[in-house]
Homo-oligomer: A and B are copies of this chain.
């Protein structure tokens, strides 16, 4: 008990969280139903209202409860649980899989932004951005192919980076915190260039992730990642 009591009411709030979760899972409180208010729960559990509030807030963040001022707290009908998708440093991913990492910058240029990216990025087509193609390797086999646009206006200092030595993925993760990201998952048949760079055959099914990040100066980068055939991306709640 000593350790639990050392946490400011953490033990009690955790107990209430578990108990409320149990009541929802076992259908004592059903989806859509209003649950007792904080004062009632505080009396039932013999704790301060703030402790109940903390516990319910955790469950609301998990998506099990819907909390509305005035309307009270209800069991969520369709719990939105948040799955973790960090933006990984690919080098670390490859090394964590026990492979040796390498990287090849295929091309880099300052190029006018194509129409197809302009609307999503909220930038005018034709604006000059940094355009790169690169391959990440694990044990010299292609792991992931990237086709990336970087907005230098959102990332001061990027124009002086030598991307032959530090790849853009790792540089951006370490140096350009983002406020917002959008991820789009799809599948496509490898075109001739994808197949050549991934050292696979054309028409092979590939998992594609288009990812765009923003900070308060605008879009940072948009990247199309094509993974080697057979790659599985996992997220857990």
Contact = CB atoms under 8 A, between A and B. Distances in A.
Q: Name A's interface SS.
A: mixed
Interface in A168-183: 173-175, 177-183
The size class of the interface chain A forms with chain B is 35 or more
A160 interface: no
Contact of A234 (B183, B207, B233): B183
B173 A78 contact: yes
Contacts of A94: none
B82 A82 contact: yes
A78 to B, nearest CB: 6
A179 B21 contact: yes
Given A182-B236, A185-B207, A185-B234, 18 more contacts: A25-B216, A31-B175, A61-B61, A75-B177, A79-B86, A80-B86, A81-B87, A82-B85, A83-B84, A83-B181, A181-B237, A183-B235, A185-B235, A187-B187, A187-B205, A187-B206, A189-B205, A205-B206
